[in-house]
Each structure stands twice: as C-alpha cells, then as structure tokens.
C-alpha cells in the first residue's frame, strides 16, 4: 500500500465541456489511462462522485480520478477518497489541472501554495484543510485569450492549438511517470524546464 498514488485530474463533467480549456486535466488522465490500462475504462463510483480507474505505472499502483462534481466542488471527491485510500502522504496526491496564468505549452510542477484563483484548487484546499499536495499545472493561455475569464476557460482550444495541446498532454503523462519513478525533486527540475513550442 505504501506505493499507492492518487492522481486527480480536474475538469467539468458532460460532453459540452469535454474539449474546453478547463478540462485539460481530464484530457491528461484519459491519455494516461489509455497507456497503463488500455483494455479498461473509467467507471463512476457514487461514494466518491467520481469516475475512477486503477492500474500500475512502472510497477506502482495508481488510482486515476476524474471528479464529477463540477470544478468548484472538486474537493468533495478528494476528501471522500482520502477517507478510504491509504494515500495521506502529500507527495503521493497529485492534482492535474489547467492554469490560466501559464501560456499554452508551459508545464509546471508545484508543491503547496494557494489556489491562484483556481476554483478547483480552492475547493481542494477548503475540503482537505491542507495545501501540501502536488499540482501539475498545464498552461492554457493562448493568443486568443479574452477579458472574460469564465468564458475563456470554458471555450474549446482553437484549431491551430490542437497539436500543441496533444504534445502538452503527452509531456504531462511523461511528467507523471517521472514523479512516480524518480521522485518529486528530480521531476520538478525536469518538468519545470519543459516548454512545448508552437509549430
């Protein structure tokens, strides 16, 4: 049980949000799930109000979680999970989420800190009463960024951004693999230097 990791991707449930910027956390977990348990699928678990799948990455047990509570209530899923999952060590709880303060193509790994105005992270902090979980922050700010934050994060990526988004997701999956196999310090040093350049 000591090697159990909990990876929570943030997003909003429902097909109308599937391809929006705010859901890049879900997109990353979908990609990771296909790599580690391709014959399986996410299943809704009512006790946690989340879609969950489990598998092994580099021989390490991982639970992949997509809260179905909507973004601003994501912490409720995390709190319910941590009652039942033996994953209380902060370095083994990884949150994957969009970050409007980072440009599209930028990926950063961070431990602790405030919410930065992100409603999903704010909910996690409020419900868990702690800030020391890991955050894999995926930049979503592009050239088309509008003044209305809500409309922007709930808008889909543009056609010209799709290739970069795919590369960001692939590198994010690589980053998660690095966290599990090499530890936080090594992963942070490598992930935070990576930038996906537009093509």
Residues labelled catalytic: 22
- Nearest Cα residue to 156 out of 15, 7, 4: 15
Q: How far apart are CA 97 and CA 161, in angstroms?
A: 18
Q: How far apart are CA 196 and CA 175, in angstroms?
A: 13
Residue 77: C-alpha distances to residues 16, 68, 84, 105, 177 (Å)? 21, 8, 11, 28, 23
Structure tokens at 171: 């590198």
């Amino acid at each position: 049980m000591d090697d159990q990791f909990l990876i929570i991707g943030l997003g909003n449930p429902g097909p109308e949000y599937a391809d929006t910027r705010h859901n890049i956390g879900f997109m990353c977990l979908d990609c990771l799930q296909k790599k580690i348990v391709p014959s399986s699928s996410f299943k809704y678990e009512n006790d946690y109000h989340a879609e969950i799948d489990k598998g092994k990455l580099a021989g390490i047990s991982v639970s992949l979680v997509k809260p179905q509570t909507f973004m601003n209530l994501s912490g409720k899923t995390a709190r319910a999970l941590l009652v039942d999952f033996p994953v209380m060590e902060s370095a083994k709880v990884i949150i994957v989420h969009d970050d409007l303060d980072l440009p599209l193509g930028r990926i950063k790994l961070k431990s602790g800190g405030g919410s930065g105005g992100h409603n999903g992270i704010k909910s996690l902090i409020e419900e868990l009463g702690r800030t020391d979980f890991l955050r894999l922050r995926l930049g979503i700010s592009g050239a088309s960024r509008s003044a209305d934050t809500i409309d922007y994060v709930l808008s889909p990526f543009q056609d010209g951004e799709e290739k970069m988004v795919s590369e960001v997701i692939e590198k994010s999956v690589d980053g998660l693999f690095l966290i599990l196999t090499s530890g936080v310090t090594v992963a942070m040093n490598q992930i935070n230097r990576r930038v996906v350049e537009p093509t």
